[in-house]
A and B are shown apart, each in its own frame.
Chain A
Amino acid sequence: MTEVKDSINRRDFVKGGVRGGFLAGLGGLFGVLIGKTTKNHTVWQIDPEICIACGNCATHCVLEESAVKCVHAYAMCGYCDLCTGYLMPEAKELDTGAENELCPNGAIKRTFVEDPYYEYTIDESLCIGCGKCVKGCNAFGNGSLFLQVRHDRCLNCNECSIAAACPSGAYKRISADEPYLLKKVGHA
Chain B
Amino acid sequence: MSSTLILILCGTALGVERFPPPDFESGYGLPQTTVPPARESVYEYADVAVLLAALSLSSYLVIRKRSRRAIFALMLFSLFYFGFWRKGCVCPIGAGQNIVLSVFDNGYAVPFVVVLVFLLPLVFTLFFGRTFCAAVCPLGAIQDLVVLKPITVPLWLESPLRLLAYLYLGAAVLLAATGSSFIICRYDPFVSFFRLSGNLNVVIIGACLLVTGVFVGRPYCRFLCPYGVILRQLSRVSKWRVTITPDDCINCRLCEDSCPFGAIRESTADWPRRDYNKSKTRLAILIILLPVLTLSGALATRAASGWLSRAHPTVRLADRIYLEESGKVADTTDASLAFRGSGRQIDELYTDASNIQSKIGLGSLILGVFIGLLIGLKLIKHSIRWHRVDYEAERASCLACGRCFDYCPREQIRLKKMEEGAKDSE
Name the residue on A nearest B40 (C-beta).
A176
Q: Nearest-CB distance from B192 to chain A (Å)?
A: 7
Whole-angstrom CA separation of A83 from B416 in the bound complex: 81
Contact yes or no, B18 A188, CB < 8 A: yes
- Contacts A76-B17, A151-B38; A82 near B6 (Cβ below 8 A): yes
- Report Cα–Cα, A136/B89, bound state, in Å: 35
Q: How far is the CB of A28 from chain B (nearest CB, A)?
A: 11
- In the complex, the answer to whether A168 meets B19 with C-beta atoms within 8 Å is no
Cross-interface CB contact of A72 among B33, B122, B234, B334, cutoff 8 Å: B33
- Which of A37, A141, A151 is most buried by chain B, counting CB atoms within 10 A of its CB? A37
Measured as residues with beta carbon below 8 angstroms from the partner, the interface class of chain B is 35 or more
Q: Find out whether the CB atom of B18 lies under 8 angstroms from the CB atom of A33.
A: no
Q: Answer whether residue B58 sits at the interface, using C-beta atoms and an 8 A cutoff.
A: no
Q: Are A114 and B25 in touch, CB under 8 angstroms?
A: yes
Chain A residues near B421 (CB-CB < 8 A): none
A167 engages B87 (CB within 8 Å): no
* Beta-carbon contact of B41 and A39 below 8 Å: yes
Q: Does A36 contact B (CB under 8 A)?
A: yes
C-beta contact mask, B21-48 vs A, less than 8 Å → 1, else 0?
1101110101111111111110010000
Interface string of B63-104 (1 = CB under 8 A from A): 000000000000000000000000101110011011100110
Q: How far is the CA of A33 from the CA of B95 in the complex (A)?
A: 13
Evaluate whether A142 and B17 lie within 8 angstroms (CB atoms) in the complex, with A63-B197, A155-B87 already known.
yes
Let me know if B111 is at the binding interface, CB within 8 A: yes
Question: A29-B119, A62-B198, A84-B6 are contacts. A74–B110 as well, Cβ < 8 Å?
Answer: no
CA distance in complex: A15, B379 (Å): 23
A6 near B: Cβ within 8 Å? no
B residues 97-130 touching A (CB-CB < 8 Å): 97-99, 102-103, 106, 108-115, 119, 122-123, 126
Tell me if B10 counts as interface (CB < 8 A to partner A).
yes
Point out the residue from B99, B111, B342 that lies within 8 Å of A168, measured CB to CB. Answer: B342
A158 touches B90 (CB 8 A): yes
- Tell me whether A37 and B197 are in contact (CB under 8 A): no
What residues of chain B lie closer than 8 Å to A63, measured between beta carbons?
195, 197
B16 in complex: contacting residue of A33, A150, A161, A188, CB < 8 Å: A188
Does B269 make an interface contact (CB < 8 A)? no
Q: CA–CA, A71 to B33, complex, Å?
A: 7
B115 with A33: CB separation less than 8 A? yes
Q: Is the CB of A22 within 8 A of B33?
A: no
Bound CA span A110–B28, Å:
15
- Bound-complex Cα distance A64 to B13 (A): 40
CB pair A26–B334 under 8 Å, yes or no, is no
Contact residues, A89-141 vs B (CB, 8 A)? 89-91, 113-114, 117, 119, 121, 139-141
Produce 1/0 per residue, B167-196, CB < 8 A to A. Answer: 000000000000001100110000010010
Please, which residues of chain A bring their CB within 8 A of the CB of B119? 26, 29-30
Nearest-CB residue, chain B, relative to A63: B197
A62 and B239 in contact, given A42-B111, A176-B41 (Cβ under 8 angstroms): no
**Do A37 and B109 have beta carbons less than 8 Å apart?**
yes
Given known contacts A33-B103, A36-B102, A161-B199, A176 and B38 CB-to-CB distance under 8 angstroms: yes
A3: chain B residues at CB < 8 Å are: none
User: Contact: B197 with A22, CB < 8 Å?
Assistant: no
Whether A38 contacts B109 in the complex (CB less than 8 A), given A62-B198, A78-B22, A113-B24, comes out as: yes
Q: How far is the CA of A160 from the CA of B236 in the complex (A)?
A: 35
Of the residues A62, A76, A114, contact of B21 by C-beta under 8 Å: A76
Contacts of B99 in A (CB 8 A): 29, 33
A150→B237 CA distance, assembly (Å): 46
| Sample (25) of A-B pairs whose CB atoms are under 8 Å apart | A26-B126, A33-B102, A36-B110, A39-B41, A40-B111, A41-B39, A41-B111, A41-B114, A42-B111, A54-B338, A73-B33, A114-B28, A117-B28, A121-B31, A140-B7, A154-B38, A155-B195, A156-B39, A158-B89, A158-B91, A159-B185, A168-B334, A169-B338, A188-B16, A188-B18
Question: Residues of B at under 8 Å CB distance from A?
Answer: 2-3, 6-7, 9-10, 15-22, 24-26, 28, 30-41, 44, 87, 89-91, 94-95, 97-99, 102-103, 106, 108-115, 119, 122-123, 126, 181-182, 185-186, 192, 195, 197-199, 234, 236-239, 313, 333-335, 337-339, 341-342
Which 4 pairs of residues, A with B, have the shortest CB-CB distance? A78-B19, A168-B338, A167-B335, A152-B36
* A contact set with B: CB distance below 8 Å: 15-16, 18-19, 22-23, 26, 29-30, 32-34, 36-43, 50, 52, 54, 56, 62-64, 71-80, 82, 84, 89-91, 113-114, 117, 119, 121, 139-142, 150-152, 154-159, 161, 164, 167-169, 173, 176-177, 179-180, 182, 185-186, 188
Beyond known contacts A156-B38, A168-B338: 4 more, CB 8 A cutoff: A113-B24, A117-B28, A121-B31, A157-B89
